[in-house]
Chains A and B, each alone.
Chain A
């Protein structure tokens, strides 16, 4: 299991956080074309190499932060605060019926 460096709690097991996926900036909701908006909603680059991804310390300090992780080597860079640009998807903690 990945060891995720939470900027507030310190290193934590990935299972104690919620993975938010690749970060993408939110287009202007009044200007975006359907193509741009759906690219923001659904399309991901899935690179082999450095990736900016969102994490949510859901079982800890509840901080949303961005991590740079190399998907091929597992290398990590310092987490970024505050937040990031991955607000678009609701997250569930899995306790709902």
Chain B
């Protein structure tokens, strides 16, 4: 690597005492600690770092910074790594992307020969017709995908999230950004300084000794002042109320962290980005911006070539000449754009060999350096609602009027000496700290119930910063030849002119048609050149054409960082370990995991119907209601009457929303004079809790009711079957379980298996004699095991959700959300006696009253197929015989082991809801079968004699 490295010098970030080894396409190479992948490659004489997306042209470093479009590589199992930014690590396996079969002999570069098919809008033209060939087109287009290879066996990335609430966030750690952060911190603000490079300093890092000394002074002062400095981090988005997305990389043990920061004031100090120049051959390896060579030489000690032509129109180009000379590069020619000089073309196949100038000279060189001007990365201002304006004198855009809590400083806002930039940054930091104080005061005032505010609101500090001057700069965008505008998308100026010729008169349309600015650099390098080329093609000015709107993200962010860790909780009852140990097949129901069955649900049904079974029903929603006005709340939420519920009784209730649609159902029991327990469906537990709170807080704040959710506080076990009483009697001594002492639809509190404060109620979802036992959850597993031990001789066995679903269907109990849907008004249930029209007020009453009087809504009916072995699929359509006219659908269906036949619930049109009606059902395989509407919802024991026994 010797002849590509220059001697050690101040400013270099590499540590020559720590050599590193890595591989490039399998070849073993060496670099130093502090190198980027690209600086190490160049130090090894490697100048081709990738192939372009469409034409597979060889590409090398162009800007040698985060935005470089030509240096995206694969590192191990990680694709799409920005090699000009990513620091070299020992043992890295680096390879080129988008090459086949190899980087040097790339067969797809034949695309260069068929380039005419790949011009503007080729996605929309070439690959449209005939549609029959779309699968082929998809394969062809797939070969253009420029990304790397995702290794599905690689361990998943480690991503993290963090929330932050700084007074001031400064985006950009150059001289102005550092000065702003320092001033704001010294004024008492909490400050976060976000820099996307690995060190603070901005352009001072590749400046002269004085520049670097100033950078070091500011960086030290910033840290000493308590500013939180994030390097290798980017503010990627700004949203309402200064909600900021910050992507942070390079943390130990974490691949990428997404910081969600709520800033009082955002300071945008993103600096400027050097614009590439458009001319023939401008994407050849060896064509670089002045910033690229200054960075490579000053920061990494890399000599980027041997003989350079420098096209300069500003001090950065002049400084590049000085840096190149110092690095021992021969300066073949300096072409001054301020004096009318120009570059026409670069020639060569895999590397610049010769340069043609506008004056006709042809000069041999392996480097062509351009310094033609700056793009202001105003993205964060655009996201704040600003529309930056173009200054033709300075040949770049400037901020216009961002909102009051967003301030711009540094190169983004104007030009000047380092002292001027620092002074502007300081003024901006002070203003930001003062405004952040007012923002905080306003928020506290708005929420002074939460935190009292005693001081009056301070005045809003006016922006009295003396503006930075706008330096003049020649407008240099494209030479007299055509070249690449968007390197990542392989879009040339010719494509843009063609798009304009085809009538695309809006820059937003041209963007989508040609895909210019849509690649990984997100327009940072391409947008202004795109606009300039279009303006020229249409004979307009840049102001007239306008720009595309910069949207989030400012820089790409990985999907993993957006997802972060998975914090979704899994809920389970205290009995779950027992279920797992006894072969339960789990089923996920919402957040709950619960046993679906223990091997054979039909035998679980038979055991429960004939002897006794127990089921863990802990997910059942449970709300503890206390207070004198609970009956008022129950009367409001349920459709039926709750005035005379005696202590010790439970009652079934149906809930509607205000549009009359069934919302939930369940039983509520009265435990004490002012104490009730409400149960809801398992899936509706959270909704009903919110719903009840909502009515209490908004419509009836005067009612005295206190609601406590106790779903997980109580483990719920249903003991069901003819022998359930006998089993429970063995475990209780303070509850009289006698049939007359403890009747159907009653509730008792007492001790079960020695566990006090249990709630037992006698209801019958399964249709059997059954007791629901609600146990303080710490004792749930104990009581469950006691039931099994003490019921061994009775044949007690657990049953799961599936057996319960079969039994409830045998009994014809509908399930809200299964047998009803989002349009099912309460009369669908057939529970007219529960719809108390005479009750003064209940939620949804008007719609239910009107629906009842119309009588035209669908009905839930029990249905039995004529062929008892046919189990129609749930959601199978019910049609009029001989036609496809839909009259309803099957909502639940199972084979009943008790009746040895199929049983269903269905929602049908009222005309076919009469018992005895024959229905036609279309099965999923297209065949039709018939079924009978039953007299009762219950297929089994319609009189309910078993559960009342």
Contact = CB atoms under 8 A, between A and B. Distances in A.
Interface residues of B, number: 42
Contact of B694 (A6, A30, A87): A87
Interface string B228-260: 000000000001110100000000000000000
B578 interface: no
B657 A93 contact: no
A97 B684 CA distance: 10
B698 A32 contact: no
Given A8-B449, A9-B450, A37-B846, A64 B697 contact: yes
Given A13-B243, A91-B694, A97 B683 contact: yes
A89 B660 CA distance: 11
Q: Which of B239, B444, B591, B686 has the most CB atoms of chain A within a 10 A radius of its CB?
A: B686
A87 B690 CA distance: 10
A7 interface: yes
Contacts of A43: none
Interface of A is mostly: loop
Contact of B589 (A40, A93, A97): A97
A92 interface: yes
Interface residues of A, number: 47
A90 B243 CA distance: 29
Interface in A25-74: 26, 29-30, 32, 34, 37, 40-41, 54, 56, 58, 62-64, 74
B241 A3 contact: yes
B447 A87 contact: no
Interface string B439-467: 00001111101110000000000000000
Interface in B836-859: 840-843, 845-847, 850
Nearest to A92: B687
Contacts of B687: 90-93, 96
B75 interface: no
A89 to B, nearest CB: 7
B450 A10 contact: yes
A8 B446 contact: no
Contact of A2 (B241, B589, B659, B691): B241
Contacts of B443: 3, 5, 10-11
A87 B686 contact: no
A74 B241 contact: yes
B450 A85 contact: no
A11 B695 contact: no
A34 to B, nearest CB: 7
A92 B686 contact: yes
B663 interface: yes
Contact of A90 (B262, B451, B691): B691
A1 B658 contact: no
A3 B442 CA distance: 12
Nearest to B440: A11
Nearest to B403: A74
Given A29-B845, A64-B693, A74-B240, A90 B657 contact: yes
Q: Which 7 A-B pairs have the closest CB atoms?
A: A83-B698, A88-B658, A5-B446, A10-B450, A64-B697, A3-B241, A1-B243
Interface of B: 239-241, 243, 262, 443-447, 449-451, 588-591, 657-659, 663, 683-684, 686-687, 690-691, 693-695, 697-699, 701, 840-843, 845-847, 850
Given A5-B446, A10-B447, A88-B658, 18 more contacts: A8-B450, A10-B443, A10-B450, A11-B447, A26-B658, A29-B841, A54-B698, A56-B690, A81-B449, A83-B697, A85-B698, A86-B698, A87-B695, A91-B687, A91-B691, A93-B687, A97-B589, A97-B683
9 contacts: A3-B443, A10-B451, A26-B658, A29-B841, A32-B846, A37-B847, A63-B697, A82-B697, A89-B658
